[in-house]
Amino acid sequence: MNISYTVRRSRKRQKTMSLQVCDDAKIIVSVPAFTPADDIRRFVEQKQGWLAKILARQKQEAAQAKEKKYETGEHFFYLGQRYPLEVFFEPFEKEGIVFRNNRFYLNCRSDKALRKHYFISWYKQKADELIRRRVDFFSRMLKLRYEKIRITSAESRWGSCSEDNILAFSYRLIMAPPDVMDYVVVHELMHIREKNHSSRFWKKVEECIPSFREHRRRLNHNRRNFAL
Ligand SMILES: [Zn+2]
C-alpha cells in the first residue's frame, strides 16, 4: 500500500510516534526529532487498517454532511450525540423545533431554508444557555473575569477572546460533547490571562483540562459533522 504522509519532527515532548488524519484526509505523523525514515514508514504501515477505517468514515461523513435536506430520518448532533429528526406540518400548531425523548421534532412546511433557520435558532438558543453556564462556572473557578459573551455563527472558529476580553463562541459548539465544549471555554478564558498561544498558555490550559489535546483533535475531526 502506498500511503503519503507528512512527517513532523519534534525535539520537545514527543517521545513516541503518533498519527493524525486531518479534515482534508491529509495524514500527519508526529515523531521524535531523530527517528529514521524507515521506522516511520514501518510505523505508518502497521497502522494501515486503522487509517483505512478513519478515511472511509471521513468519506461517508463528508457525503452525509453535504446533503442536509432537513427531512425525517436525518440525524443532527447535540452535545456529542446524534439524534434523529422527525418532520411534520401542523399549520395550527407552533412552528419550530422541539427536542423530546432523544428526538428532534420539527413542525415546518416543506421549505428547506426555513427548516434550516429553525435549526439554527434552536442551536443558538441552547448555545446561549449552556455555554454561558460553563463560562460562568470556569470563570469563577479560574478567577478570570470576562467582559461579555457573544454567540456567533462562525464556521471555522469555535471561539475567540478579544483584546478587551469579550468572549465569542460559535453556536456549533453545542453539537460537540460537553467535555470538548469545556475545553474551548477554558481555552478562551485563558486568553484573558495570556493573549497568545505560548507554551505557558498551553500549560495553563492543560492544568485545567489535562486531556485537552484529545478534545482539540475531536473538534477538528468533527468539523464537517457540525455543519448545517
Ligand atoms: Zn486561542
Query: Can you give the pLDDT of all 228 residues of the chain as single tens digits?
Result: 578 999 999 877 678 899 988 777 889 999 999 999 999 999 999 999 999 988 888 887 776 666 789 999 999 999 999 999 999 999 999 999 999 999 999 999 999 999 999 999 999 999 999 999 999 999 999 999 999 999 999 877 899 999 999 999 999 999 999 999 999 999 999 999 999 999 999 999 999 999 999 999 888 877 777 888
Quick one: pLDDT at residue 1?
57
SS3 4: coil
Q: Which helix (H) or strand (E) holds 75?
A: strand 75-78
Kindly list the distances between the CA atom of residue 97 and the CA atoms of 84, 117, 123, in Å, as whole numbers in the listed order: 12, 10, 10
Distance in Å, CA 196 to ligand 1 centroid: 7
What pLDDT is stored for residue 3 in this prediction? 82
Domains along the chain with CATH numbers: 6-66 (no CATH), 75-221 (3.30.2010.10)
Gap from CA of 226 to ligand 1 centroid (Å): 20
Interacting residues of 163 by C-beta distance below 8 A, sequence separation 6+: 195
Q: CA 183 to CA 158: how far, in whole Å?
A: 11
> In the prediction, which pLDDT does 48 show?
92
Distance from the alpha carbon of residue 188 to the mean position of ligand 1, in angstroms: 6
